Amino acid sequence: MTARKIIHVDCDCFYAAIEMRDDPSLARKPLAVGGAADRRGVIATCNYEARAYGVRSAMASGHALKLCPELLIVKPRMEAYKAVSRQIHAIFRDYTEVIEPLSLDEAYLDVSASPHFSGSATRIAQDIRRRVSQELHITVSAGVAPNKFLAKIASDWRKPNGLFVITPDQIEAFVAELPVSKLHGVGKVTADKLGRLGIHSCADLREWHKLSLVKEFGHFGERLWSLARGIDERPVQTDSRRQTVSVENTYDHDLPDLPACLAQLPSLLEELARRMARLDASYRPDKPFVKVKFHDFTQTTLEQAGAGRDLDSYRALLSAAFARGDKPVRLLGVGVRLHDLRGRHEQLELFAP
């Protein structure tokens, strides 16, 4: 079967790049886009000058200012960012209709059947980068590979303003050197567990039989076995609509009681806020929910219509969910149900007079 040609495009510090483009006086200064520190705001993104001080997305604005007292924090202008995102996607559609948006500033493109540049995915990616730079005056990084997993890694390989290509004959050697922390779905907890098992690179992971990995990691063990060999059969989804946004974490040691669970909420909610900030305007957040998996693998999910999405509301939900089991917890999750506004508008049009 002919290998697919996938491009992953990721804008470089997107919100901050637009702010610097629209106000050149901000360029070459530490800059972040986010909420005010005196209102417990959070950083949505920042430029590379700010990152040099340790400032990162999802960081509390107050902490960011301690790291970088000269940091300029500007309010998000979502309409401006959405407008630029639409322009970028219009450029994408000149090369392919097989596009999977991940957020305003990130997307997969399947150019396997594209006639442009004699079907060269590398030249298509080069031209997309050239046009975004010349027409929109911001930069994007791109990765080209035979599948989504490798294309996403490649786009980060030479950031910012870079292009990296992984050809089919390079996959085996390239993946062997990858740290397991780079694998899709491997967070800190899983990476730590892999490390304790002596697995640090994909070459190490290849030494394990698939059944042994399944025994250690459940169904995710099969995924680890495939990724360690550069295998990823997921297609580019052109109409993948979210129903929820969520964050969950499995802990190395069970959380013994409710206070220990509640102590984990702020970090989970910071990550949830970062993921929600990447949604486009076709979604509206709705009911908050929590997920609790107890040490015996029983689990419960609790949501509440009309509840807020602030820390106190999630505390109340988590307390009620914990009470259903009242035993040590191995996994916590927080999330938000979403209303698909695009689908709602399409349905209304069917009944329009």
Q: In what order do the strands lie in the sheet with 163-165?
A: 99-103, 106-110, 6-11, 140-145, 163-165
**Short-list 36, 105, 107, CA closest to 76:** 36
| Integer angstrom CA distances of residue 12 from 47, 48, 66, 132, 251 | 8, 9, 24, 12, 32
| pLDDT confidence of residue 350 | 36
Annotated catalytic residue, options 106, 135, 172, 222: 106
| Annotated binding-site residue? 105 | yes
Q: Are 269 and 336 in contact (CB under 8 A)?
A: no
pLDDT at 282 (0 to 100): 82
Grouping H, G, I as helix, E, B as strand and the rest as coil, residue 250 is strand
Q: Is 257 annotated as a binding residue?
A: no
97 is catalytic: no
Q: Three-class SS of residue 133?
A: helix
Is the CB of residue 86 less than 8 Å from the CB of residue 96?
no
Compute CA distances 162 → 131, 173, 283, whole Å.
Answer: 14, 21, 31
pLDDT tens readout for residues 78-118: 999 999 999 999 999 999 999 999 889 999 999 999 999 99
Minimal CA–CA distance to 332: which of 247, 274, 271?
247
In the predicted model, residues of the chain with pLDDT beneath 50 are: 1, 344-353
Summarize pLDDT for 183-223 with one digit per residue, the tens: 988 888 888 999 999 999 999 999 999 999 999 998 889 99
Residues 6+ apart with CB under 8 A from 347: none
Rounded to an integer, what distance in angstroms lies between the CA atom of residue 180 and that of residue 299?
28
Q: Does a cis peptide bond (omega within 30 degrees of 0) precede residue 256?
A: no
Q: What is the pLDDT of residue 175?
A: 96
Contact status, residue 247 vs residue 188, Cβ threshold 8 Å: no
pLDDT value for 241: 65
**In sequence order, what are the beta bridge partners of 142?**
9, 163
Could you give the domains of the chain? 6-12+79-167 (3.30.70.270), 14-76 (3.40.1170.60), 172-227 (1.10.150.20), 244-345 (3.30.1490.100)
